Amino acid sequence: MNKSQMNNLYARSVQLDDGLIAPYGGELVQAYVPAQLRPGLVERLPTLPRLQISAAELFDLEMIASGAHSPLNGFMTQACYASVLAQTRLPGGRPWGLPLTLAVTHAAKLTLTVGHEAALYYGADPVGVIQVDDIFAWDAPAEARALWGNAGMQQTRIAQRVAQQAAYLVGGPVAFLAARASNLLRHKHQWPRDVRAQVVEHGWQQVAVPNLKFPWRRTDEHLLKNALDTSDALLLHVPVDEESTPHSIPQPLLLSASRLLIENYFPIERVMENPVSAELFAATPRAELQHAILSQNYGASQFFMPQATSASVPEVLELFADAAHHGLAIHPVMMPAAFHCEACSGVATEKSCPHAAGQRVFISDVDIYAKLRSGDPLPPSVTRPDIARALARGVSMALDGNSGMPGGRNIHPHATEVSSELRQSLSGHKASVLWMTGLSGSGKSTIAHRLERELLLSGHNVFVLDGDTLRHGLNKDLGFSEEARRENLRRAGEVARVMLEAGMIVIASFISPFRAERDMVRQICGAKFFEVYVEASLEDCETRDPKGLYKRARAGLIPQFTGISSPYEAPVDPQLRLDTTRQSLDECINQSMNFMMEAGLLRVSRAAVKRSA
């Protein structure tokens, strides 16, 4: 390999003309081995000293090669490393947050020569080469204090290097050899030019990056939606290889919850995902600056930082302002801390919420995990019901399984000898839940009880599950807060599920005003759940007002009354719609029976079903 080829082997600056925000420093610096030089380099590898690198260093190597850490072209030399630790700057004065270093043992250091190359191996696989420009002693405690404070020695990477007896750091430009499709690169990191190409292909102008680890809470959703409202797309950076603490939800569950939020409640075609180092999400100004630099290299133009997780807002903003004089063009957006307000019935901030602090709900991560461990439901003020159930199931499985997590509850339902299918076979009809939802006074209970009579007299095992009845017994301990109402419906759904297992037709009559809560019950009951919308205008319901509730609500005697002071979310696509404004009771019953017959829920043919006198 001649000198010209050697020069082309290492980093190259790429001038981009994609019309997006320029990379930090103006150019994208990439450091991969060009295809035409690969054969010659592979031939030379056996002649080079061999350095083993860790999984984290392999990821750093790929990120440098891709241009994600532009303008760096390799692992830091001593001058660069010292400048970043002491001044949060590269030697030329450009602000920079975190060091990127390659650590070696004393034995490995003895094989290296400054000014010569070394081959980088991950296990038995060659992944790159480094031009050794510098070898210097590593002071682990000094780095730990500078970057992470008093607890720095427990930081994952530093602790791992200490355990591996790393004593020196090696600096110099690198050339990445591993194929991008290699199984070694398990995180499937997207390269900046690929992400930028996606942005240009979609015609997007503004891309936002939220500084959130695993967004799954309601407050996270609030921030994400605000970010998307002011941009064309979101770029979610996902932390990799972050270790869970004994008092936290395991990382795989958090990742699943985050993806569930995105897939179900966001336009997924406007959300891109990309793995990055977990260090970028530390609550330090250095980490926030580094995350913003990396995001700019990917073409993002906005960087959203929640104040609740930001280390020091003035210090962070000062650091960003300084970096703006050196090429940091991404716009920082500091988001005020969000919380759930009972009076607002939703997520709010200090700026948008007029209510007293006593109305604001804050639940810590420790309390959330404690609830999940004990089997208590997460309230809808924390997260959406489907996400809460997914987390609860995951934590329960981890506790009761062989995961090594302490505190398993050892709850294992006994396998019955009488299946639900056998019960349905003996009764001659299918088990099902007809969940009747609608405003108070719409006619739910009247229809439910008349339908129960018709089904019972035609030989069906049927029972009406009424909201008022449950509140006089099983749920008499519950009030009418948002959390209590959700719990009321959760319990009703669990009762309905037990009755399903008994092979019964359950007719449930609940206002159940919110789609998320009805979806929660649907998940509890499964495919045998049928949503029935008992539709009536608010005017008709107030005219009927059989319990005098609307009159009291209008007088302000009943707070959070559905239809008056609290919203009702009508079903979007119910399995059955009964319009009691236009239809008589008999017509509604006939329509219900016809629906059940067509759904295959009844025990006899339509002709044999006899109406009671």
Measured in degrees and rounded to the nearest 5, phi and psi for residue 595 equal -60, -45
114: Cβ–Cβ under 8 A, 6 or more apart, which residues?
132, 133, 134, 135
Contact present, 500 and 432 (Cβ < 8 Å): yes
- Per DSSP, the residues of 158-210 read HHHHHHTT--EEEEEEEEE-S-TT-TT-TT-PPPHHHHHHHHHHHT---EEEE
Q: Is 575 exposed, middle or buried (0-12, 13-18, 19+ CB in 10 A)?
A: middle
Residue with the two structure tokens 């995180």: 187
Task: Tell me the two tokens of residue 44.
Answer: 């030379």
Q: d(Cα 486, Cα 370) in Å, to the nearest integer?
A: 20
Q: d(Cα 223, Cα 215) in Å, to the nearest integer?
A: 9
Residue 295 among the catalytic residues: no
CA–chain centroid gap for 103, Å, is 33
Residue with the two structure tokens 């919420």: 353
Task: Tell me the two tokens of residue 134.
Answer: 């510098």
Pairing of strands 50-52, 117-122: parallel
Q: Which of 83, 432, 445, 512 is catalytic?
A: 512
Contact present, 223 and 306 (Cβ < 8 Å): yes
Q: d(Cα 102, Cα 161) in Å, to the nearest integer?
A: 10
| Three-state DSSP class for residue 305 | strand
573: Cβ–Cβ under 8 A, 6 or more apart, which residues?
none
User: What single DSSP character describes residue 93?
Assistant: S
- Per DSSP, the residues of 524-584 read HHGGGEEEEEEE--HHHHHHH-TTSHHHHHHTTSSTT-BTTTB-----SS-SEEEETTTS-
Instruction: Identify residue 306 by its one-letter amino acid code.
Output: P
- 334 strand-pairing partners: 305
Tell me which residues are annotated as active site: 512
